[in-house]
Structure 1
Amino acid sequence: MSKFSQNKKELINKGYSITESIFSDEERLQLIHLIESSENKYAIRQLVNKVPEIKEVIFKNEKFKKLYASVCCTDYFLSKAIFFNKIGKFNWFVSHHQDLSISVKKKLIIEGYTNWTNKKGQLGVIPPKEILENIITFRIHLDKTDETNGALKVILESHKNGIIRIDENFKKENIGKEELCIVNEGGVMLMKPLLLHASSKSITNHDRRVIHLEFCNQEIPMEWLERKEII
C-alpha cells in the first residue's frame, strides 16, 4: 500500500483529504519568492504560464510526486493553476459554491457547455459534470490555514450529488455535515471541484497563500487554455 493511499481513499469518499507537510521551509520560501517576483502578490491566474518555474519546484519534490502518482493516473495533465492570498485589503468572504468553471482557448457553442464568461480576455465555461467529476484539485498551502485566516469549510460527500443549485432555498444542513479544513504550512489539500465549500474572512494579519492546481484527463472540443503535460 502506497504512503498516500489513505489520502486517495478519503478524496473519493469524503470529497477531500489533507496531507502532512510535504514541502520544506526552503521549498516554500522558494515558491513564495517566485510568486512575489511576479506581477501580483495576491492573485495570479494562469500561474504556470506566467511563472513556469513554479511547476519545476513543485514536481522536484519527491513526496509531491508520490502523492500525485497515488491520486492521478498517467493520462492526467495540468488544466488550471491559480495563486491567491487572503490578507488585509485582499480579504473576502466566500459563500458555499462548487468550482464549476474551466478555462478554455476558444468559444464553441456545444450542448452541455454553459454559462460562458470572458474575464479580461480569459474564456470560461461550465462543462458537463462528467468533465468536472474527473478533475482533481491540489491546494498547496504555503502558510498554515485555520479558523483565523479563512480555512475552507466543506460539506462532506457533497461532490457525489453532481451540480447543486445554490439559490434562496439552499440550506447547507440539508446537504451534509460541514467540516473545517485546517492545513499546516507545506501541506496539501486534495479536493473534488464538485465538493461544496466556503471560507470566512481572515481575522488575522497572517498570510493565507495557496497554490491551486487542477488536473484532468478529459479532452474538450474548445481546448484547455492552460494544458500542461506532467512529466
Structure 2
Amino acid sequence: MNLQNHKDSITENGFTVINNIFSDEEINKIIHILENIDTSKETFRKSEDLFAIRQFLKEIPHIKDLIFNNHIKTIIKEIFGDNYFVVKSIYFDKPEKSNWYVAYHQDLTISVNKKIELPNFGPWTTKQNQFAVQPPLHILENIFTIRIHLDDTDENNGALKVVPTSHSKGIYRPENIDWNVETEKICNVDKGGIMIMKPLILHGSNRTTNGKKRRVIHIEFSDKELPEELNWSEKMN
C-alpha cells in the first residue's frame, strides 16, 4: 500500500479516500456485531432519521480487533505517526429513508472527562453526561479522523462533501465560505473503504435520495496530551 500520496493529500487538501481496507467478510462480521447489540443504553441515540452510538469502542470493546486490522494499523503508523491514540469514536447509521441533512461545519470540540475552567478551552457542551469542549487550535490541527464505510456511499446517500484545503485556514465559519474561490468535493467511498480527514476541513452531507443505507464508524486520533487536570474521555492505545 503506497500511502505517501494519501499522506500528501491529507496535508494539502485535508482529506483522502482509500478503498479496499476491509474485506466483505470483515465488514459483514462488524455488521453482525452491530445488529446484535443491546441498544437501550444512554449512549445510544435512536430516532427515525439517525441511530448513533457514542463512545463506540468503549461500548462494544470486542469489536476492536475487527476494526484495527493490519491495514488500519499500517495507515495509523505511516500516515499519522507512532504516538497516536484513539480519542473519540462514534457509530452512525443513517437509515434508508433518512432525511438527515448536515450543513457545512468544522468539528471543533473534543470529548473530555470533566468540565473545568482552563485558559483557551471553551465553549463547553454536555450531552448524555459527556463533556465536550473547544480546545486551542493546535490540538484540533493535530487530530486525524478515520471514517470506515460499511456501505457504498455516494452523493445519493449522504456521502460527505468537503471544501478542500479549508482545514488549513483556522476557524472558518461556514457563512464566510466564498464560493468564488472555494470548491466543493463529494467524497464517494466504497463499502470497506475509509475516508481520512482533518476535523477542521469544512464538511457536510446531503439527504439520502436513493433509499440506501449509510453506516459509518468515525474514529478520531491525537498524539497530544491535554493539560494535566483534564483527560480525553475515550483515550485508547
Q: Same fold (TM over 0.5)?
A: yes
Q: Does 1:70 align with 2:78?
A: yes
**Range 146-155 or range 34-43, more displaced:** 34-43
Distance between the aligned counterparts of 1:104 and 1:174, measured in 2? 38
Aligned ranges for residues 81-100 of structure 1 at < 5 Å?
Answer: 81-88=89-96, 90-100=98-108
**SS class of match (1:114):** coil
Matched with 1:198 is 204
Distance between the aligned counterparts of 1:150 and 1:129, measured in 2? 28
Distance between the aligned counterparts of 2:218 and 2:127, measured in 1? 18
Distance between the aligned counterparts of 1:174 and 1:136, measured in 2? 28
**Superposed displacement of residue 73, structure 1:** 1.2
Q: Does 1:148 align with 2:156?
A: yes
Aligned CA distance change for structure 1 residues 46 and 91 (closer, same or farther; 3 Å): farther
Aligned CA distance change for structure 1 residues 108 and 33 (closer, same or farther; 3 Å): same
Q: Does 1:31 align with 2:30?
A: yes
Distance between the aligned counterparts of 2:35 and 2:181, measured in 1? 39
Distance between the aligned counterparts of 2:17 and 2:236, measured in 1? 24
1:4·1:66 contact (CA, 8 Å) conserved in 2?
no
**Range 194-203 or range 64-73, more displaced:** 64-73
Distance between the aligned counterparts of 2:181 and 2:198, measured in 1? 16
- Work out which of the residue numbers 213, 216, 219 in structure 1 matches 2:219: 213
Distance between the aligned counterparts of 2:99 and 2:217, measured in 1? 16
Matched with 1:17 is 16
1:155·1:172 contact (CA, 8 Å) conserved in 2?
no
Aligned CA distance change for structure 1 residues 175 and 50 (closer, same or farther; 3 Å): farther
Matched with 2:60 is 51
- Work out which of the residue numbers 185, 188, 191 in structure 2 matches 1:182: 188
Moved over 4 A (4+): none
- Work out which of the residue numbers 105, 109, 112 in structure 2 matches 1:101: 109
**Superposed displacement of residue 74, structure 1:** 1.3
TM-score by length of 1: 0.93
Question: CA offsets, 1:51-100, max 9 Å, x none?
Answer: 012221122x2222222221121111000000001124554110000011
Q: Which runs of 5+ in 2 are unaligned?
A: none
Identity rate, percent:
44
**Superposed displacement of residue 166, structure 1:** 3.5
Distance between the aligned counterparts of 1:213 and 1:192, measured in 2? 12
Distance between the aligned counterparts of 1:201 and 1:148, measured in 2? 8
**SS class of match (1:43):** strand
Aligned CA distance change for structure 1 residues 120 and 130 (closer, same or farther; 3 Å): same
Distance between the aligned counterparts of 2:143 and 2:180, measured in 1? 25
The size of the alignment, in residue pairs, is 225
2:121·2:136 contact (CA, 8 Å) conserved in 1?
yes
Distance between the aligned counterparts of 2:97 and 2:191, measured in 1? 22
**Superposed displacement of residue 127, structure 1:** 0.4
Distance between the aligned counterparts of 2:126 and 2:181, measured in 1? 31
CA RMSD of aligned residues (A): 1.5
**Range 205-214 or range 172-181, more displaced:** 172-181
Question: CA offsets, 1:168-200, max 9 Å, x none?
Answer: xx2351562110100011001000000000100
Q: Which amino acid aligns with 1:152?
A: L
TM-score by length of 2: 0.90
Distance between the aligned counterparts of 1:124 and 1:34, measured in 2? 28
